[in-house]
Structure 1
Amino acid sequence: MAASDIRPGFVDNWQAGKTVAECNRRMFDTEESCDVTFRVGSSGQVIKAHSYVLISRSCVFHAMFTGSLAERSDVSVPEIEPSHFRQCLLYLYTDDADIDADNATGLLYASRKYDITALELKCLDFLKMHLSVDNACVILEAADRFDEKQLYQEALTLVKNEGEQSLLSSGFLALSQQFVDEILESDDLAAREHVIFTAVNNWAEAECGRQGRAITPQAKKSILGDTLMKVRFPLLKSAFLEDEVKASGLLSDSERRKILDYRDNPGNGVHPFNTKERTANIKLPMHYVHRYRTETLPCVRNSSTHSISFSTSNDVMLLGYQLYGPHTPSGVSFYNVTSTLDYEDADPNAMIHDAQKYEVNEDTFDVLWEKAVAISANLWYTLEVEIRGHYTCCGTGGREQVACDATNVIFNFRNSNQIVNGTRVTQGQIPALIYCPA
């Protein structure tokens, strides 16, 4: 209501029915009677506030605006984003803040700066509850900056355990070099070396951009320095060394030849390159549980889906499974294989979904996943396999229960709810599961 529309003696009682928080929020939003001006962020955006509210809620603001050391009512805060600063002030006015993935670390910084303990705890709780592989790198650096040791360790553990996804996240590209080094030098980083190399190369290119430098091999090598040697180049496949590494320009021809020569003559040494296998990637001992007693005539056409359900008496790590190959091996046959594993009758959020191409010249071949899957005892799982390629053999004389004496694990099998193309307990494809004890 405009001032000219107010009748004589009429008072705009906007406060009626509102809580203290609601009244404070209106005063903040309308900037009525504000006596403090903040110029926030690199742009100096103006945000106005009431010194009484700030003084009553923060000892830092109390010191800023009272006593002999009181500042002027015009305060510069260039290091905090305006949206984050506004949310921080709103918390002081209302005891409430909209904390999300985009502002949690910014609000944490602001709450630390102005000693707003309750908001700080809310931010930390949010980060702990929402820690994921997609934001673990961001939270890792924030936890270090704020000396939150437990949160730091939780984030670092997640980064290493989910190594490949972490290294390929946008958060990794934004890390400072200190944290890149800490992650890459870990023996227990669960990532293949070619993924690690790709992440390092991507990070170097991102850092060139931050420093305003052209992306050249010389610039990347200059920026990386000792970080480049965190990549364990002797563990890379020869083809990757000759293609991707060569194209990056991060190793000289002589350095690549030295590594290739080491492959043929390990006694020559390959200093200063690290040859140690990362422990997370050391292959687990494989055991096979075979379902069938016999192998029969061709059973699978060139495009088909097969499934079987199983449970185990003990916790195990499922490494993959075995398939029958061509029924008349002659040269190499090619198969495109897609694997899906999930709890039986569960939502369609597969524990694993893997697609690979195989060159086969044997009666059977192994389908091994890049990462083992934890199988819990006495739960039923369903493995579904799509095979595209030549005709294959099938097995008969299948068993509902197989005891593996070497590991004291009992496997139980039953027909899945998705029986297609004849694979079931008694006959069909998927002759064996490949596992190791948990």
Structure 2
Amino acid sequence: MATSVLQPAEFVDNWQAGKTLAECNLRMFDAEDSCDVTFRVGSSGDEIKAHSYVLISRSCVFHAMFTGSLTEKNSVSVPEIAPKHFRQFLLYLYTDDTDIDAQNVTALLYASRKYAITALGAKCRKFLKINLSVDNACVILEAAYRFDENLLYKKVMTLVNNNGEKSLQSSGFMALSQELVDKIVESDDLAAREHVIFTAVNNWAEAQCKRQGREVTPENKKSILGETLMKVRFPLLKPTFLGGEVKASGLLSDSERLKIFDYRDNPGNEIHPFNAKQRPAYNKLPFHDVCRFQPQPMFNGCTSGRHSISFSTSTDVMLIGYELYGSPIFADIYSVTSYLGDEDAVLNCIHDAKDYEDLHDTFDVLWEKPVAIRAGQWYTLEVDMCGYHTWCGTGGRKHVVCDKGSVIFHFRNSDLSKNGTTVFEGQIPSLFYRLG
């Protein structure tokens, strides 16, 4: 009689033991164990496999896709989302958790909307509320624009514009599409000095040349920029910058730069195709002050009336207003009119009479429109103020160095001053300016 041989029982890998539901789902997803759906993702059509049961259990959209009359049979195309971002989306469906960051938040928000995953959408919005910053704004802006997230796009564009200089100097700006670079540079709402805008545009064009495998030449940069180049407001740039950085970039011809120089000396000249209008958002930029006197003023030293001081600067600036002393005894209302001109020549009224309340011993007079101050040229600021006697500054200086030496203000007495204001004492303790 033949003897039967007992075969060992087949080994079973009990990998499920001790794991949570999320951990089991993640293992099935990572191992592609028993998957019955294939997603072809991104422009490259990368394959990512999944389980229809999980998809159906998490999304009404997937439920309709895989069980309804228009059932998808095994393959689903998702060309608009990058594979790494779509994988993060699927991880959320499998585990109720995923890693959200500035690179993927807009893609996940788009996927949550497309597939009706409201809880993930809420997580994305919470992330944006807490983590949206100037540093990552351009990255999120690009994605919001690509995925038609209009509300998010408007919110982020406002952040980019309000923090213009930091946005333009961020790494995210260098990776923007040409269409968005154009929208940012064109905007009146962009709060940035024009030389910062030009530098960002030039750097972006160079980076784009390299991304496209093209040599970095003026011709290639112009080709890439197209109409965006003329949305830089070249007439607002300093002559030294036009003759230095702009010339070196090769983005303007000699005749174009000469036309801008001529326009600066003769503002009535035709300047097309250049835009010479100051961006209104320029007024949102932080301003600097130059303090003429010692911190502690003298008690009750100045009368109301006309006060004048003459000044010049070492570099071009935009003067936006000045500071005045108020009453040393009680809060008062002062009516102030501002005049400015070429030293002791006929002065122009640049700010009609307006009432200001003295609440903290001094008050600021800020103009609606900044005034361009040319380096080396002498100007006289005259203030006609009506109100109670005021504090009086002392210990004035003829020369004041500002912004770590980048701007030097020079002061001298004005013959128009009739109420005791001089270089060394009196009214107008500070001038307010922005760098050009």
Q: Percent of pairs identical after alignment?
A: 67
2:226 corresponds to which residue? 225
- In the alignment, which residue of structure 2 is the partner of 1:58? 59
Assess, with a 3 A threshold, how the Cα gap between structure 1 residues 176 and 82 changes in structure 2: closer, same or farther.
closer
CA distances 1:116-161 after superposition (whole Å, capped 9, x unpaired): 2322332233223211111212222333344444322321221112
Letter in 1 for 2:127: F
1:411 maps to none
Asked whether 1:100 is paired with 2:101, we answer yes
Matching residue of 1:37: 38
Amino acid corresponding to residue 263 of structure 2 in structure 1: Y
Q: Name the residue aligned to 1:278.
A: 279
Aligned to 1:391: none
Find the counterpart in structure 2 of residue 184 from structure 1. 185
Q: 1:256 offset after TM fit, Å? A: 0.7
Cα distance between partner residues in 1 of 2:60 and 2:12: 36
Corresponding residue SS for 1:266: coil
Q: Which residue of 2 aligns with 1:80?
A: 81
Q: Secondary structure at the match of 1:187?
A: coil
Give 1:112's aligned residue. Answer: 113
Quick check: 1:291 aligned with 2:292?
no
Aligned partners of 2:107 and 2:143 also within 8 Å: no
Contact 1:325/1:361 (8 A) holds in 2: no
Q: CA deviation at 1:163?
A: 0.8
- Output the CA distance in 2 between the equivalents of 1:57 and 1:315: 63
Q: What does residue 199 of structure 1 align with?
A: 200
Indicate whether 1:23 and 2:24 are aligned: yes
Q: Are the aligned partners of 1:134 and 1:171 in contact in 2 as well (CA < 8 Å)?
A: yes
Aligned to 1:168: 169
Structure 2 CA distance for aligned equivalents of residues 8 and 136 of structure 1: 60
CA contact (8 A) 1:40 1:85 kept: yes
Tell me the secondary structure at the aligned position of residue 128 of structure 1.
helix
Deviations 1:240-289 (A, max 9, x none): 11121112221111111111111222222322221112233359796957
1:153-181 deviation line (CA, Å, top 9, x unaligned): 32122111211111122222222333223
Secondary structure (helix, strand or coil) at the match of 1:251 reads coil
Larger radius of gyration: 2
The answer (yes or no) to whether the contact 2:107–2:147 under 8 Å persists in 1 is no
Distance 1:268 1:274 in 2: 13
> What count of residue pairs does the alignment treat as equivalent?
327
Give SS of 2:135's match. Answer: coil
Query: Which residue identity is paired with 1:38?
Result: F
How do residues 232-311 of structure 1 correspond to structure 2 at under 5 angstroms?
232-282=233-283, 290-292=294-296
Gaps of 5+ in 2: 1-7, 299-358, 367-392, 413-423
Change (3 A) 1:213 1:60: farther
Amino acid in structure 1 at the alignment position of 2:259: K
Distance of 1:177 and 1:32 partners within structure 2: 43
1:325 deviates by 10
For the 8 Å contact 1:318–1:433, the answer to whether it is kept is no
- Name the CA distance, whole Å, in 2 between partners of 1:263 and 1:202: 26
TM-score using structure 2 length? 0.62
CA separation in 2, counterparts of 1:42 and 1:269?
48
> In the aligned structure 1, how far is the partner of 2:14 from the partner of 2:189?
65
The alpha-carbon deviation at position 48 of structure 1 amounts to 2.6
Mapped partners of 1:170, 1:318: distance in 2? 38
Q: Does 1:135 align with 2:136?
A: yes
Q: Map Cα deviations across residues 202-255 of structure 1 (whole Å, 9 max, x no partner).
A: 222233344443332222223323212211111111111112111222111111
1:424 is aligned to: none
Paired position in structure 1 for 2:318? none
Give 3-state SS (helix, strand or coil) of 1:268's partner: coil
Write the deviation string for residues 345-375 of structure 1: whole angstroms up to 9, x where unpaired: xxxxxxxxx6444567779xxxxxxxxxxxx
Alpha-carbon distance between aligned partners in 2 of 1:272 and 1:56, rounded to the nearest angstrom: 59
Contact 1:318 1:434 in 2 (8 A): no
Q: Whole-Å Cα distance in 1 between the matches of residues 197 and 212 of structure 2? A: 22
Change beyond 3 A, Cα 1:201–1:325: farther
Between the aligned partners of 1:122 and 1:251, the Cα distance in structure 2 is 47
Alignment of 1:361-380 (within 5 A): none
